[in-house]
Structure 1
Amino acid sequence: MRGPLRWVLWDVKDTLLKVRASVGEQYCKEAERMGVHLSPVEVEAAFRQAYRQYSSRYPNYGIAQGLDGRSWWMGVVRDTFSQCRVQDPSLLNAMAHNLYHNFCNAENWEVFPDSEKALESCSSLGLKLGVVSNFDSRLEEILRVCGLLSHFSFLITSEEAGIAKPSPTIFDQALQRCGVPAASVAHIGDHYVNDYLGCQSVGIHGFLLDRSNKHDRPDVPQEHRLSSLEELPSQLQRHMD
């Protein structure tokens, strides 16, 4: 890596925090509130199918087709419950609206135990922090209620950028915000293609977070792998001189 490190960019979901309960459980809880009794296993399967179809038909929240994150997610929720034999349009809309807003609540998210300390360690090393995430516009509020927002100088979501990782374009937007060459920037994320390969395509130094040792990738050198964010500060320090 050429040039001293100045910035660290972060993925968020499954890197710094994760959804606390399964989608099936969360959706069933909302349905129950509305007097509809469903099986979490059935709802989870329906959600996965609806999510796959929407991701394929309307990539990146359908921005290019005139949708936005809210309308995209409400469509996914409506389709999920429709597959589970809920047919009343007003009920489907109400549940979709409520679930979209529910996911801004802190109780629906779990911050990994090593996240806060890793962010603080980066800042104490004199590094500035930003976010590059394939997420919708709720991300700022989610980071706020989870107590993480203040660590970051900027956030770029794929909804706002109009393009998703691993596209070089979203990483180029981040580099413009950093105002330093790619060689002075690192990126941490849990997805091999979107995070690790994506950032490297523009010359950013990539770290692949693999908490459960699921990435069997011979092309990721050991010094680019993290099994925990606790390992990050010492890895970054090696690139700071």
Structure 2
Amino acid sequence: MLRLKVLTFDVNNTLIKVRNSVGQQYAQVASHFAVKVNADELGKAYRALYKEQNKKRPNFGAESGITSEQWWGEIVHKSFQQVGYTEENTLAKISAKLYEDYKHASSWHVFPEVKEMLKFLNKNGVCLGVISNMDERLIPILQETDLAQHFAFILPSIQAKCHKPDPKIFQQVLDRLRIPAADCAHIGDNIEKDYYGAKGVGMNAFVIDRDKTARQQHNDIPKEQFLQDLTELETKIFQEIK
């Protein structure tokens, strides 16, 4: 008998991950335009600028009057500028290609167990959905990676007009489905955004912890709430009939 009727998933680092590091990806695209940069330095610049941009203009600029492509373009331009490349016309071309490339499956790696586990959950009558802090490319990404077909709904934060861990993004799903939070669980890799965000509206929650590091750092979360991979969901969603 099903214990949980609805499962929602984070995407990045839960179902899929970037195929190469961002620094490598950026440097590789730059090489198509005869631009040579250090991938490690570029990656370091990107990580700092991403955090800064997320704080300054959260949710991909949804409330800042800019498009997500402009939002990412600012990060790309500043990342290259910090490692010494400043030619604006070429940076615009690099930025446009990167934005387009990340729509496609070639930029992403699907974790090995994901497709079979989603099929298993579909077969057993579990309603599946996505709640992810991503821009409008989320749906084409899931289509290209052959995952979209498994989900009844896909909610990117840019469409929701709010982002995890804001409880409003989880509540939107509960309101649409008209289902008690106790019948749902959210699965993601981020403790604050995924685990506590979902728990904040009364949902169950599990942390995907593929390298077993998160469970060592968070003694406040019961060990049974951590999953090494999605196959462990099988024992979580059913309950014995007594």
**Aligned residue number for residue 25 of structure 2:** 26
**Aligned residue number for residue 233 of structure 1:** 234
Q: Which amino acid aligns with 2:218?
A: R
Change (3 A) 1:108 1:239: farther
Q: Which amino acid aligns with 1:137?
A: E
Q: Which moved more, 1:133-142 or 1:53-62?
A: 53-62
Superposed displacement of residue 239, structure 1: 8.4
Deviations 1:155-194 (A, max 9, x none): 1111111111000000011112322111111111111110
Q: Which amino acid aligns with 2:230?
A: L
After the TM superposition, which residues 1-241 of structure 1 pair with which residues of structure 2 at under 5 Å, given as runs? 4-215=3-214, 216-238=217-239
Superposed displacement of residue 95, structure 1: 0.8
Distance 2:212 2:113 in 1: 17
Q: Which moved more, 1:86-95 or 1:13-22?
A: 86-95
CA contact (8 A) 1:7 1:178 kept: no
Change (3 A) 1:202 1:240: farther
Q: Give me the CA root mean square deviation.
A: 1.6
Change (3 A) 1:240 1:91: farther
CA contact (8 A) 1:4 1:240 kept: no
CA contact (8 A) 2:46 2:79 kept: yes
Deviations 1:41-100 (A, max 9, x none): 111112112212211211111222212321111111111111122222211111111101
Distance 2:150 2:21 in 1: 27
What secondary structure sits across from 1:170 in the alignment? Answer: helix
Change (3 A) 1:37 1:240: farther
Q: How many residues align?
A: 239
Superposed displacement of residue 240, structure 1: 9.2
Q: Which amino acid aligns with 1:233?
A: E
Superposed displacement of residue 219, structure 1: 2.1
Distance 1:127 1:45 in 2: 40
Change (3 A) 1:137 1:239: farther
Q: Which amino acid aligns with 1:56?
A: K
Q: Which moved more, 1:41-50 or 1:104-113?
A: 41-50
Superposed displacement of residue 37, structure 1: 0.8
CA contact (8 A) 1:182 1:204 kept: yes
Distance 2:180 2:80 in 1: 47
Q: Which amino acid aligns with 2:123?
A: S
TM-score, normalised by the number of residues in structure 2: 0.94
TM-score, normalised by the number of residues in structure 1: 0.95
What secondary structure sits across from 2:130 in the alignment? Answer: strand
Change (3 A) 1:229 1:240: farther
CA contact (8 A) 1:5 1:239 kept: no
Deviations 1:107-136 (A, max 9, x none): 110000011122112112211101000011
CA contact (8 A) 2:3 2:237 kept: no
What secondary structure sits across from 1:64 in the alignment? Answer: coil
Unaligned runs of 5+ in 2: none
Change (3 A) 1:143 1:240: farther
Identity across matched positions, percent: 36
